[in-house]
Amino acid sequence: MQKIKKAIVAVAGSGTRLLPVTKSMPKEMLPIVDKPIIQLVVEELIEAGIEDIIMVTKWDKKPLEDHFDHSWALENDLEKNGKMDLVKKIKEIADMANFVYVRQKGPYGNGTPVLSATSLVDDEPFIFVWGDDLVKSKVSFTKQMVDD
């Protein structure tokens, strides 16, 4: 069996069940202690051996995309202030995986994120996850799927 290296992450939802907090912030960016939910999801994928993360987004998910990008101005400010531990921490987020973003093409149901990312996975096996789904277990559900 071919090793699974790609994941499609559905993050195009509006978060209406969590209004009003999601009016100005994507639900996937809500913090769990000191990390946004989406980072915990991505870390689980990385732990399972995923290298390419395809996030299926929509127009208002820029904060999510920015979270996984380098922030040169912030990195420079932190370096100038001698906060190298924080520089390292935020650089690691951007370097965790290869991140690709594709816009969801319509609100047609749970299969739409997969259809929107089809050309990026070709005939390869992939993992599909929701960007706001956390499961507490000793061995992550993603690792269990990849290992079985």
pLDDT at site 80: 97
Q: What is the pLDDT along the chain (148 residues), one digit of tens a residue?
A: 688 999 999 999 888 899 999 898 999 999 999 999 999 999 999 999 999 999 999 999 999 999 999 999 999 999 999 999 999 999 999 999 999 999 998 777 889 999 999 999 988 999 999 998 888 888 888 888 888 6
Whose structure tokens read 């994507």?
26
Residue 128 sits in which domain range?
A: 6-69+97-147
| CATH code, domain with 104 | 3.90.550.10
Is 89 among the domain residues?
no
Question: In this predicted structure, what is the pLDDT of residue 1?
Answer: 67
Note whether residue 62 is domain-resident: yes
- Asked if residue 63 belongs to a domain, the reply is yes
CA distance 112 to 128: 12
